[in-house]
Amino acid sequence: MCHQREKAKEDDIQPRVRTQVAYAETKAPRRAMVTENAQLKEETSQLRLLLSDIPYSTLRDLEHALADD
């Protein structure tokens, strides 16, 4: 009877362990996405600053030059 109780406890623990492992495995990709998202936001901010320094007429000229290609 004692062996059956131990087996029941093990069976009860296994799903929780699997759930914890699965959760831990999903955290790594999330961290990578958060890091990548932060990098993309920084790059976007830098590009906006660069574009804000370019005069409008130059952007219009650039647009026409790209359209001609």
What residue spans define the domains of the chain? 2-68
Residue 51: per-residue pLDDT: 82
pTM attached to this predicted model:
0.46
Question: How far apart are alpha carbons 50 and 65 in whole angstroms?
Answer: 19
Residue 28: per-residue pLDDT: 75
Q: Identity (one letter) of the amino acid at 17?
A: V
Tokens of 68: 């001609």
Residue 42: per-residue pLDDT: 95
Mean pLDDT, residues 25-35 = 81
Confidence of residue 23 (pLDDT cuts 50, 70, 90): low
What separation in angstroms does the CA of 34 have from each of 25, 30, 38, 39, 48? 15, 6, 6, 9, 21
